[in-house]
Structure 1
Amino acid sequence: MSAIELPSPIVATLYHDHHRFLHGWLRRKLGCAFEAADLMHDTFLRLLVAPPAKAEAIVEPRGFLTTVAKRVMIDHFRRQALERAYLEALATWPEPVAQSPEQRALLLEALCEIDAMLDGLGPRVRQAFLLSQLDGMAYADIAARLGVSVSSVKQYVAKALAHCLVHAQ
């Protein structure tokens, strides 16, 4: 959104009429007013960058906002879990290999993008892809570990690669 562009009238109305409700709802769910304010901001930001909704399509504005806010919370919790796992792994690295805060932030952002790209894949497809790409396992080893055929592993990895190509654009 550029500096001269005004927000959608629907989003502005939703914010004006329901921001206190949404902040209170998020505060009760999260137990923290500051985190609730951040996620409320992210919820309305998501609405601003989404394709414009039709006012008549939103029958229950509070239900609509809580649904969007739940999705924002899920993304938030997923990012926190990914960050915790990354920091735990980073803590096991020797000091000379440790990275600067900027490098950590860039790596964490890349991990979140990869996680978002792989979201929507079935668990076996995702696991086969990660074992192949991150662990460098051979297809036969992946097949044995997952209890499937090698041709299934090839299909899983091909499906995951195609999925990533589509979502990377």
Structure 2
Amino acid sequence: MANQIRCDCPGIVEQINRCESQVVGTARQRKEQVRMATLTFEVSDSLLTRARETAQALNRPLEEVLIGALAVGLPDVQDVPASVRGELLEMTFLNEEPLWTIAKSEMASAEQKELQTLLDERQRSLVPQAEVRLQELRESYGKAMLRKARAFALLSLRSGQPLLTALEETE
């Protein structure tokens, strides 16, 4: 039998901002008004038990833990390039193996060297074609970093371990 959770969500903006701050590393000041919603939904016994245990371990209200989990699971991607938004959201539903693959991924060695060369040459001056290529590589690198950050955030949330501890244990 599933459990019903009713969640009146006061302070949801503050909760979401606090969670985003922990995941992204920068707090965003929002001056927009947010409507509050009351949700009623069913969750499995095991999920409710995990949420209660987490709330107890953190000495926080169950509602706050659930709001935090939703904020991390459904990140604000408005400031993310459109070409990577869907991928970041889909990562929420990946299991640990593909998340670790993403988290440990690196830019191809040849692209890293090319990026460094173009950055070094930029100090003098780049021809227009090289400037375009530099921009492409920077965008690719930025998207890869967004994917890695999201993977690490999800892995940390699921394991309950700090990111570096979880990384050290998989190596």
Q: TM-score, normalised by structure 2?
A: 0.34
Choose between structure 1 and 2: higher helix proportion: 1
Choose between structure 1 and 2: higher strand proportion: 2
Greater relative contact order structure (CA < 8 Å, 6+ sep) = 2
